[in-house]
Structure 1
């Protein structure tokens, strides 16, 4: 979706690079939290050693951090709705896209919305 008159439907997809990094990282984190016994630690070098240490000694911290990360993403997506309203983005479809993109990718999406400066319309 592109900008339209008045920017009421403004939406911009985030960077594919950052979305890939976030998806792989969060996927690995999910794997470490829920299926740590299936991770091939020795094949992952220092990352594997560190993950195995955390899984073996700090499972509660891993789990709590996982759910905290989702909670932060939920908060970011709610803040995106506040930003949409303050920036004049009123299209339900655009707002839904901002909400979902920010929920899934956090600050990689939210930073785009924060940086967005709608054009001021002249009052006649």
Structure 2
């Protein structure tokens, strides 16, 4: 649970830093304030590109989740869609669960 809350907070904070840096109250962020101010002042292009790269990686992970669903025999369309959405939102944390999933094979009689 802590991971998910941290993840959601950091995603929103990154979006705020990249797109609206002038509205951030740096002095109110404690030790995070000066560091964030430094990144905004000296590495804005890198942060902007990193933001979009992270989105691209999440799309790639989500598409890979679809491939894994097919490989592991998950054929229900709703289930596959939910894996796609979950992996898009939570990245490798979600994908690792799908990777670790070992379906039980049915014996042929």
TM over 0.5: yes
Contact 1:22-1:105 within 8 A present in 2 as well: yes
Larger RCO, structure (CA 8 Å, separation 6 or more): 1
Match of 2:49 in 1: 64
Structure 1, unaligned runs of 5 or more: 1-15
Matched length: 109
- Per the normalisation by structure 2, the TM-score is 0.95
**What's the offset of the Cα at 1:88?**
0.4
Structure 2 residue ranges without an equivalent (≥5): none
With structure 1 as the length reference, what TM-score do the two structures score? 0.84
Q: Residues 20-72 of structure 1: CA distance to partner in whole angstroms, max 9, x if unpaired?
A: 11110100000000011111111112211111101111110010000000000
Equivalent position of 2:12 in the other structure: 27
CA RMSD of aligned residues (A): 0.9
- Structure 1 segments, 4+ long, off by >6 Å, are none
Separation (CA, whole Å) in 2 of partners of 1:17 and 1:84: 27
Q: Distance in 1 between matches of 2:96 and 2:7?
A: 14
